[in-house]
Structure 1
Amino acid sequence: MGFRRMFKSKIHRATVTQADLEYEGSLTIDTDLLEKADILPWEEVHIWNVTNGSRLTTYAIEGPRGSGTICINGAAAHLVNPGDVVIIATFTDIEESAARNYQPTVVLVDSSNKILDPAYTETPGPNLPLRKFS
């Protein structure tokens, strides 16, 4: 059996609180958000900027717990600015047999990056049934 690369988790529509061009690199994320989204420190993350359409890959580092911090560090600060809305996503390789029943973790946040209702319902495209994520 082979493996499939699957969407593992995301923090959906987070608001960037800071951008630090002089920092070495990475994305600083509130520790509460990291834990809820099952993202580890140093894990690869994809950042999709809803505000301007840019996309980039970096790694996560822990920010102060409960702070709502979403800080873009290093060269990525040229692509993402404070106030931008972003999606932060991770992926994982899963055995094909397990991938058929796999469910990702989705964390919705408000404009202050506080976690919203933990029961997330995906809103699919037109005429598709809703699917519940845990």
Structure 2
Amino acid sequence: MQVEMLKSKIHRVTVTQAVLDYIGSITIDADLLRAANLLEGERVSVVNVNNGERFDTYTIAGESGSGVVCLNGPAARKCVVGDVVIIISYATMDFEEAKHHRPTVIFPDTKTNRLVER
């Protein structure tokens, strides 16, 4: 049996840009992608804390250290600059493997979207 489990989560970052005239995706600071164990092009779910919107898109790596979180294309209609979002990815795995799986969850500074020491 296969189950879908939480793989990675960027908990509460602030949208810095929304660019409607683009083919689609979410641009995320490359440092955050690495820390959260997310790949460029990976499918993610985005949950908007401010308005309750939920949607799926894929990741694009932004400049390291920039703090960028930019919604591109139609997703730009789901958020506005300043909204706080949670970015989640899931992985399908064997039931027995899932029992021992530990997701990667990061908690960046919401004001700067940069990693902080915990």
TM-score range for the pair, normalised by the shorter chain length? over 0.9
> Helix, strand or coil: the match of 1:45?
strand
Matched length: 117
Amino acid in the other structure paired with 1:64: E
Residue 6 of structure 2 aligns with an amino acid whose one-letter code is F
CA contact (8 A) 1:48 1:86 kept: yes
Q: Which runs of 5+ in 2 are unaligned?
A: none
Q: CA deviation digits over 1:7-50, x for unaligned, max 9?
A: 00110000000000001100000000000001101100100000
1:91 correspondence with 2:82 = no
TM-score by length of 1: 0.85
On the 8 A contact 1:45/1:89 being kept in 2, the answer is: yes
* Alpha-carbon shift at residue 101 of structure 1 (Å): 1.4
Contact persistence 1:20–1:73 (CA under 8 A): yes
Q: SS of 2:33's equivalent?
A: helix
Q: Which runs of 5+ in 1 are unaligned?
A: 119-134
Matches for 1:1-134 after TM superposition, within 5 Å: 2-110=1-109, 111-117=111-117
Alpha carbon RMSD of aligned pairs, Å? Answer: 0.8
Larger Rg: 1
User: What amino acid is the match of 1:112?
Assistant: T
Deviation >6 Å, runs of 4+: none
**Alpha-carbon offset, residue 66 of structure 1:** 0.5
C-alpha displacement of 1:58: 0.3
Amino acid at match of 2:21: E
Distance 1:4 1:55 in 2: 21
Tell me the SS of whatever aligns to 1:77: helix
TM-score when normalising by structure 2: 0.96
